[in-house]
């Protein structure tokens, strides 16, 4: 039986990228309150996702994980959440139809309110203040009051996550995700004729397939609802520990702030508090791996977090950069594969491709994003391993944060609608365009590998 880590245990370990709260008594008061709050997700849901990720690791499914770089409290509205869901639903249906395997849908949602930062402070002119670290820690406005680290924001984090999950559950089970509405998912936001035409052609094919399935007597309830899971970086250790619960059925400990939790590139030290805390929970776990990752580091992390090699437990989310992925990734995959361990390999083509534009905006080139995805698929094709998924920062809004794409956004366009509070995200058109790129590679892979989902023998009569 697992036990929940105590506050004293947690605070005795190295804790990187944490808020600097000036009043520990105030923090303890908030943590007392969080510990009494109901779980946001449940053990059975986490187990269900882990089973689906085991299918990803076996090459029988594909993971699409996406959402905001950093959520904001102000964006917890029905329209914002619906728009983000629409983008992922549209992307997922494109990929599902191409790969002909299930696409596991996981959002960077309902908990992604904090971000690690490379610098603890920000300077503008002669004023230096703490860096903005996400709404769960401090405010975005460049004032001393807003930038102060406030533990009361952890309660707002919980409430915002709860409200978001309530809306997501209502949308995905209430007919909003019905496959027969595939045309309407994209109608309001496709702005490029080429992408729109490709999507509408695909939607028409899906309509014909669905008509055939219903005519054959397929239960149409399977077409009207989906499973959609919530994930976030388990960065805020005090909050994550307070949100751990013992499952009454199994007596095992789960992190009940989200279905899937991941450890970032900056906080995956073997002797650190992040690894120790997540080692104790039963959730499926993601681990970000950057371009400096060695095979030994990846293996040691997997062994520490998953000593029993449980299917679906470990997802490696690689963020190598477009110029490094073909060089670094093969060695890491080969090293892990040689141990006999099966993990899900997922590409994050965003975080390794960030740069500062000439006008000062932090941005990413869509071409670089696509190139890393292609490199990811190239590596897996050469090794004969399964490219298991895509992890992408995106939004349902028509922002101008990443340059390039079919609409040919340039650096001078960034100022038009640069709305992110942290890292640049793909807009709706760029997200769907990327989905078609991935779909092309999945279709190619299906032809060469075969389709394990349809691996059956016709019965002789």
pLDDT (tens digit per residue) in 112-142: 999 999 899 999 999 999 999 999 999 999 9
Q: Say if CB 383 and CB 330 are below 8 A apart.
A: yes
Q: Say if CB 314 and CB 343 are below 8 A apart.
A: yes
Length of the chain: 461
Tell me the per-residue pLDDT of 370-391, one tens digit each, with 9 for 90 and over.
Answer: 999 999 999 999 999 999 999 9
- Name the band, by pLDDT with cuts 50, 70 and 90, for residue 144: very high
Q: Is 245 annotated as a binding residue?
A: no
Whether 90 shows a pLDDT value over 90: the answer reads no
Q: Is 108 annotated as a binding residue?
A: yes
Cβ–Cβ contacts within 10 Å for residue 97, how many? 18
Q: Is 423 annotated as a binding residue?
A: yes
Q: Say if CB 255 and CB 261 are below 8 A apart.
A: yes
Q: Is 69 annotated as a binding residue?
A: yes
d(CA 304, CA 272): 12
Q: Is 266 annotated as a binding residue?
A: yes
Report the run of H or E that residue 384 belongs to, with start and end.
Answer: none
Residue 32 CA, chain-centre distance (Å), reads 29
Question: Minimal CA–CA distance to 392: which of 375, 407, 372, 413?
Answer: 372
Q: What is the pLDDT of residue 381?
A: 96
pTM: 0.93
Q: Mind giving me the DSSP string for 319-342?
A: ---TTTHHHHHHHHHHHHHHTT--
Q: What are the distances in angstroms from CA 395 to CA 84, 419, 430, 431, 440?
A: 6, 10, 10, 8, 22
Domains and CATH numbers, the chain: 7-177+225-447 (3.20.20.70)
Is 147 strand, coil or helix?
A: helix
Q: What is the pLDDT of residue 445?
A: 78
Question: Minimal CA–CA distance to 328: which of 307, 356, 341, 347?
Answer: 347
Q: Is 425 annotated as a binding residue?
A: no
Q: What is the pLDDT of residue 29?
A: 98
Q: Is 300 annotated as a binding residue?
A: no
Is 294 strand, coil or helix?
A: coil
Taking only Cα atoms into account, the Rg of the chain, rounded to an integer number of angstroms, comes to 22
Q: State the average pLDDT over residues 265-291.
A: 96
Q: Is 319 annotated as a binding residue?
A: yes
């Amino acid at each position: 039986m697992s036990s929940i880590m105590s506050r004293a245990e947690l605070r005795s370990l190295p804790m990187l990228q944490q808020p600097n709260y000036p009043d520990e008594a105030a923090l303890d008061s908030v943590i007392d309150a969080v510990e009494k709050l109901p779980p946001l997700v449940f053990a059975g849901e986490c187990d269900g996702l882990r089973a689906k990720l085991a299918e990803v690791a076996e090459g029988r499914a594909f993971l699409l994980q996406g959402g905001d770089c950093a959520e904001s409290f102000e964006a917890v509205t029905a329209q914002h959440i619906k728009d983000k869901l629409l983008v992922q639903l549209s992307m997922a249906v494109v990929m599902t139809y191409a790969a002909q395997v299930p696409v596991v849908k996981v959002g960077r949602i309902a908990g992604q309110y904090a971000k690690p930062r490379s610098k603890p402070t920000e300077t503008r002119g002669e004023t230096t203040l703490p860096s903005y670290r996400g709404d769960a820690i401090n405010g975005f406005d460049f004032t001393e009051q807003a930038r102060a680290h406030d533990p009361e924001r952890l309660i707002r984090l919980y409430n915002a996550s709860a409200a978001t999950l309530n809306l997501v559950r209502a949308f995905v089970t209430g007919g909003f995700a019905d496959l027969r509405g595939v045309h309407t998912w994209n109608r309001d936001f496709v702005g490029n004729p080429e992408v729109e035409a490709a999507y509408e052609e695909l939607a028409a094919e899906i309509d014909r397939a669905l008509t055939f399935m219903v005519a054959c007597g397929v239960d149409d309830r399977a077409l009207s609802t989906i499973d959609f899971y919530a994930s976030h970086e388990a960065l805020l250790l005090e909050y994550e520990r307070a949100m751990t619960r013992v499952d009454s059925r199994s007596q095992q400990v789960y992190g009940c702030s989200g279905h899937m939790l991941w450890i970032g590139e900056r906080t995956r030290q073997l002797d650190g508090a992040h690894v120790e805390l997540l080692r104790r929970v039963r959730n499926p776990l993601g681990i970000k791996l950057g371009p400096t990752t060695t095979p030994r580091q990846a293996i040691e992390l997997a062994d520490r977090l998953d000593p029993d090699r449980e299917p679906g437990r470990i997802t490696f989310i690689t963020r190598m950069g477009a110029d490094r992925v073909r060089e670094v990734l093969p060695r890491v995959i080969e090293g892990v594969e040689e141990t006999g361990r099966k993990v899900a390999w997922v590409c994050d083509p965003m975080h390794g491709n960030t740069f500062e534009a000439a006008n000062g905006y932090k941005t990413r080139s869509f071409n670089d994003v696509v190139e890393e995805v292609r490199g990811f698929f190239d590596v897996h094709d050469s090794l004969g391993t399964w490219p298991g998924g895509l992890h992408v920062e995106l939004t349902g809004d028509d922002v101008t944060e990443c340059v390039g794409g079919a609409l040919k956004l340039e650096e001078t366009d960034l100022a038009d609608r640069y709305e992110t509070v942290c890292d640049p995200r793909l807009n709706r058109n760029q997200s769907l365009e990327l989905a078609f790129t991935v779909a092309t590679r999945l279709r190619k892979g299906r032809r060469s590998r075969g389709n394990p989902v349809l691996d059956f023998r016709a019965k002789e009569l």
